[in-house]
Amino acid sequence: MPNNDAFPPLDDLSVFLAVARGGGFRTASRWLGVSPSTVSETISRLENHLGVPLFIRTTRSVRMTEAGQTLAERLEPVVKEARAALDDISSSQDRLRGRIKLNVPGAVMFDILPPLMDRFLALHPEIRMEIMVDDRLVDITAAGCDAGIRYGEHLAQDMIAVPIGPQRQTVAYAASPDYLGRRGVPAHPRELVEHDCIRTRFSSGALTEWEFERDGETFTVDPPARIVMGTAGATASIDLAIAGRGIIGTFHNWLEPHLNRGALLPVLPDWWSGFDGPRLYFSSRFTSAPLRAFIDFIAREKGAAAPAWQERS
């Protein structure tokens, strides 16, 4: 018989959210540092307490019921606000404590986010940071994150975004002198279909086309890929380009050191196109003291105006 009069233990609700975020008991158990059987027992206890099933379990999968989905959606912001309140209480004006969890694309882990983290953590030794690297556009709240980093995607109305990297970035194309000496230098993007190309596949499975722009003219190419590499293999892709395995298209800031020393040569530089740089985005409703400090730090680093924080009511 359900016992809806008594509030279920917060630990049980935290386990439930971990299963909901992770999509299974084993993932949740790894995150929480407990056994899968403990997670399973906790969920069964919570379901008995509420009197409704929260998950449908099969031998191959675990998926939420409609009741479970509703509970997760309602609980997530409450738990996030509770954690923000605890972080605020444990922090003083000159000594911040707590955790910041960010959902970020792999692109910012190459040379944008790590040095910022290093300087920020040096200023605040009692703040912990957890980075969830994922190129899929997951919902940061559903993923249990405090903030995220994105490249120009549409954000919800209650989200605030501040620049965290270069305001503009460029997709550059390059190849080794050896490769271009053997295969020739393309004079127009259409000629790339005759070349070996090193391309990137995102976690979503998308293999993006190469886009070029010059004097108002745009040109899109879906060149043959001799090598396709996941986003986690960016360094290996560049190494293969240096070894003469093909033309690579990726972030200019990643290629710049190799272009400067001549290990790679620019390909079609007049056609390179730019795009808006990455932004840190977060909900205007849930900003703990550690997150506010990180946002203010980023604003100072980039010479931008920090958000006008309002006192909590």
With respect to residue 69, please indicate whether it lies within any of the assigned structural domains.
no
The more confident residue out of 34 and 203 is 34
User: How many C-beta atoms surround the C-beta of residue 160 within 10 A?
Assistant: 15
Q: Are residues 264 and 173 in the same domain?
A: yes
- Angle 41-78-121 from CA coordinates, rounded to 5°: 95
Q: How many domains does the chain have?
A: 3
Q: Are residues 236 and 282 in the same domain?
A: no
CB 212 within 8 A of CB 189: yes
In the DSSP assignment, the letter for residue 303 is T
Q: What is the pLDDT of residues 276-289, one digit of tens each?
A: 899 998 887 668 88
What count of Cα atoms within 13 Å lies in the side-chain half-sphere of residue 113? 22
Q: What is the pLDDT of residues 4-21, one digit of tens each?
A: 556 777 788 888 888 888
The more confident residue out of 306 and 160 is 160
Q: Residue 89: its pLDDT value, please?
A: 67
Q: Are residues 283 and 161 in the same domain?
A: yes
Tell me which residue has tokens 């690297």. Answer: 133
Q: Residue 90: its pLDDT value, please?
A: 62
With respect to residue 3, please indicate whether it lies within any of the assigned structural domains.
no
The more confident residue out of 18 and 117 is 117
Question: Using CA atoms, how far apart are residues 217 and 308, in angstroms rounded to an integer?
Answer: 41
CB 69 within 8 A of CB 23: no
Q: What is the pLDDT of residues 56-71, one digit of tens each?
A: 888 777 888 999 889 9
Q: What is the pLDDT of residues 238-291, one digit of tens each?
A: 999 999 999 999 999 999 999 999 999 999 999 999 988 999 988 876 688 899
Mean pLDDT lowest among 46-50, 90-94, 204-208, 260-264: 90-94
Residue 205, pLDDT > 70, answer: yes
Q: Are residues 138 and 93 in the same domain?
A: yes
Q: Are residues 15 and 143 in the same domain?
A: no
With respect to residue 45, please indicate whether it lies within any of the assigned structural domains.
yes
Question: Using CA atoms, how far apart are residues 74 and 274, in angstroms rounded to an integer?
Answer: 40
For residue 232, what are the domain limits?
A: 168-276
Classify residue 33 as exposed, middle or buried by CB count within 10 Å of its CB (0-12, 13-18, 19+).
Answer: exposed
| CATH code where residue 18 lies | 1.10.10.10
Residue 183, pLDDT > 50, answer: yes
Question: Using CA atoms, how far apart are residues 165 and 105, in angstroms rounded to an integer?
Answer: 13
Q: Residue 107: its pLDDT value, please?
A: 85
Q: Residue 306: its pLDDT value, please?
A: 61
Question: Using CA atoms, how far apart are residues 109 and 23, in angstroms rounded to an integer?
Answer: 25
| CATH code where residue 219 lies | 3.40.190.290
CB 92 within 8 A of CB 124: no
| CATH code where residue 85 lies | 3.40.190.10
Q: Are residues 251 and 183 in the same domain?
A: yes
SS3 100: strand
